[in-house]
């Protein structure tokens, strides 16, 4: 695993981008930056085993290097399924295709993963039993999120599952300050320097737009999901399960 030293080597003079530099170090970046990330990926595999039905599609939206897709593949027990992994960053798609090909070579009988470069807002969802938005919705403009969730709902079969993981903000300013401080301490324990933490925060602040847990839950219910609940929270990172 290549170590993430991006923000020790350059200043945050431009917004965060999913470019070749990020793709090269992305697994290490996730491991050190997002508390609870490994647990969310593990659970996606378990949920796939429970919710994915025969002859249906699964979608991994903003797939990056395909961790959620691979977890679904490992968890799926139903026959005739296919996973569509979508990302709009060329560097991520290129590396994801390599990782998926390596995994397929080890287990050629597993569920097929199709890696596609594209904008998730342009996807025509259909016949889906499971859709994953793992730290992806937060990069869409807030005024486009209702439409995205509504499209996802429209493509899910009855009883289908959406997994939505996001960085969130707390409506209580004092609690928000505490959660941010705890997250920064988590990064320091994972050997990021104060300078790296500061630079990355500045690079993300114009492209990653967090909302509250209540904002997300209200949107999911407003768009038509029958239920939506937080199943995992670690500081200001949450994962929500929503069922059509």
Rounded CA-CA distance 211/171 in Å is 9
Most distant pair of Cα atoms in the chain: their distance: 51
Tokens 């899910």 belong to residue: 156
Q: What is the mean pLDDT of each run of 10 residues along the chain (244 residues)?
A: 69 69 82 91 96 98 97 96 97 95 90 96 96 96 97 98 97 96 92 78 82 97 97 95 98
Residue ranges with strand state E in 94-186:
112-117, 128-134, 156-167
Give me the domain span that covers residue 165: 1-244
pLDDT at position 220:
98
Rounded CA-CA distance 160/4 in Å is 36
pLDDT at position 40:
92
Report how many domains make up the chain.
1
pLDDT at position 108:
87
Residue whose C-alpha is closest to residue 159's, from 40, 43, 53: 53
Return the CATH number at 86.
3.40.50.150
pLDDT at position 7:
67
Please answer whether residues 208 and 167 qualify as being in contact, where contact means their C-beta atoms are separated by less than 8 angstroms: yes
pLDDT at position 26:
83
pLDDT at position 13:
56
pLDDT at position 18:
79
Residue 119 backbone class (left: φ over 0; alpha: ψ -120 to 50; beta: rest): beta
């Amino acid at each position: 695993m290549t170590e993430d030293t991006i923000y020790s080597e350059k200043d945050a003079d431009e917004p965060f981008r999913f470019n070749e530099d990020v793709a090269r170090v992305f697994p290490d970046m996730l491991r050190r930056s997002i508390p609870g990330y490994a647990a969310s990926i593990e659970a996606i595999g378990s949920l796939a085993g429970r919710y994915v039905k025969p002859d249906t599609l699964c979608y991994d939206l903003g797939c990056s290097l395909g961790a959620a897709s691979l977890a679904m593949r490992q968890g799926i027990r139903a026959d005739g399924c296919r996973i569509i992994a979508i990302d709009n960053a060329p560097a991520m798609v290129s590396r994801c295709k390599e990782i998926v090909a390596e995994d397929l070579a080890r287990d050629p009988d597993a569920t097929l993963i199709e890696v596609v470069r594209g904008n998730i807002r342009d996807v025509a969802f259909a016949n889906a039993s499971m859709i994953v938005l793992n730290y992806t919705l937060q990069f869409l403009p807030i005024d486009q999120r209702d439409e995205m969730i509504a499209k996802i709902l429209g493509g899910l079969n009855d009883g289908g599952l959406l997994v939505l993981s996001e960085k969130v903000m707390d409506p209580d300013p004092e609690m928000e300050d505490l959660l941010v401080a705890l997250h920064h301490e988590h990064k320091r324990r994972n050997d990021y320097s104060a300078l790296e933490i500061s630079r990355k925060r500045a690079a993300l602040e114009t492209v990653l737009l967090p909302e509250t847990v209540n904002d997300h839950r209200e949107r999911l219910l407003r768009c038509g999901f029958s239920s939506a609940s937080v199943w995992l929270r670690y500081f200001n990172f949450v994962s929500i399960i929503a069922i059509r």
